[in-house]
Amino acid sequence: DEGAVRRDYSSFQNRRRSPYPQKDVSENNGNEILTNVNFDILCLILLHPKFGEDIAAQLDPDWIDPHTQHAPFLRKILVEIREGAWKPGENPDDLLDNEDEQNLYYQINMLEPQQDIGTKMSECLKALERNHLRRQEKSIAQRMTEISFEQRDELDALMKERKEIRRILQQLQQPAA
């Protein structure tokens, strides 16, 4: 729709002209601008190679939403590390299949290494797990609306599964002791 494109462009132009650019900053991130969790994980793996194998071992690839930015490249790196085909810190030439992946790789390698790696790694893994569980919860809620009351056993099983997901999500919200 041409009208929607014009409104989006106008909104974009107004943001560009603003003397006070808006930054998306989280209270938990201090002064860091929020980034995509997939990007943060890629940064941890590529900038801190000694943590790459730990991350690949802990990160369930199902937690990564395949529709998010950088997901295909992150999944590929995780698979390569898990299969022993590539070790973090080695030459990435075999990993980089296209120009977008090359640009992303070099963009990350231009960044400054993060200081508190353990905390960042833990936060990223929790965020990915939370996102995965929320997608599962939505899927279960959708399936529950499609089930008739005559299918009581299946409905009970879905309600039990949703309750367990909510319990895990609640635990993930608790600060680490």
Q: Which band of pLDDT confidence, cut at 50, 70 and 90, is reported for residue 32? A: very low
Q: Which band of pLDDT confidence, cut at 50, 70 and 90, is reported for residue 69? A: confident
**Mean pLDDT for the chain?**
81
Please name the residues in contact with 169: beta carbons below 8 A apart, sequence gap of 6 or more: 130, 133, 134, 137
What is the pTM assigned to this prediction? 0.64
pLDDT score, position 24? 35
Q: What is the percent of the chain where pLDDT is above 70?
A: 79
pLDDT tens track for 96-130: 999 999 999 989 988 887 778 888 888 888 999 99
